[in-house]
Amino acid sequence: MPVLAKICGLSTPETLDAAVARGAAQVGFVFFPPSPRNLTFDQARGLAERVPGHVDRVGVFVDPDDALLDTAVAAGRLEAIQLHKTAPQRAAAIRSRLRLPIWVAVAVKTAADLAGAAAFASAADRVLYDAKTPEGSALPGGMGLRFDWRLLQGHRHALPWSLSGGLDPGNVDAAIRTTGATSVDVSSGVESAPGVKDVDKIAAFLKAVTSL
């Protein structure tokens, strides 16, 4: 089965174009001011118009309010919403109000954390397994941290799922082989510095994924 890749945290036309040209299935736009990848609405508007119809625009949010969601969805012409640190009831409310697919991040450190995904079974469309960031971290994702991929082996998933957290061009092949993921998501693993995407790393990551 082909593996789909989302390149997250894009903020320049050049890196967005590289992700599209090299075969990204989704591009991620971050709307979270503490992140070095946070977009203004004007930036999102400009990037959104470069994305062809076969690539989905995913907005990344941390427990957002309705005003932020509405403005970001319009500016970024978002086709899916990725939620971090958002309760199941709130995710369900966002889903029914926006009528867009909801990706919900589940932070994983131990096997017990995987059970958290079940609470989103009727509230989301996809689970994104991501590494748990340390208590008090500024960001709940996008820190290049990975979890023990073997935890996913044999796990019965409540929803379609994607793998993220610390993936990069050198390890994504092993991550896919270990977990059986058919969808992967990367941010800092294709950067030269926090928030600075690297076109060569994007190309290498997508080559590793699409040549499997």
Enumerate binding residues for ligand LGQLAAA5 (CB under 6 A): 8-9, 28, 30, 32, 35, 37, 60, 62, 84, 128, 130, 139-145, 164-167, 185-189
Catalytic one among 8, 63, 65, 66?
8
**The dihedral of CA 42, 94, 56, 108: what is its sign?**
positive
Say whether 17 is catalytic: no
Q: Decide whether 123 or 128 has the Cβ nearer to ligand LGQLAAA5.
A: 128
How far is residue 16's CA from residue 31's CA, in Å, rounded to a whole number? 16
Q: Decide whether 105 or 158 has the Cβ nearer to ligand LGQLAAA5.
A: 105
Q: Decide whether 86 or 154 has the Cβ nearer to ligand LGQLAAA5.
A: 86
Contacts of 137 (CB under 8 A, 6+ apart): 143
Q: How far is the CB of 61 from ligand LGQLAAA5 (least distance, A)?
A: 8
Find where tokens 């058919």 sit: 182
Contact call for residues 83 and 100 (beta carbons, < 8 A): no
Say whether 113 is catalytic: no
The one-letter amino acid at 94:
I
Residues with active-site annotation: 8, 130
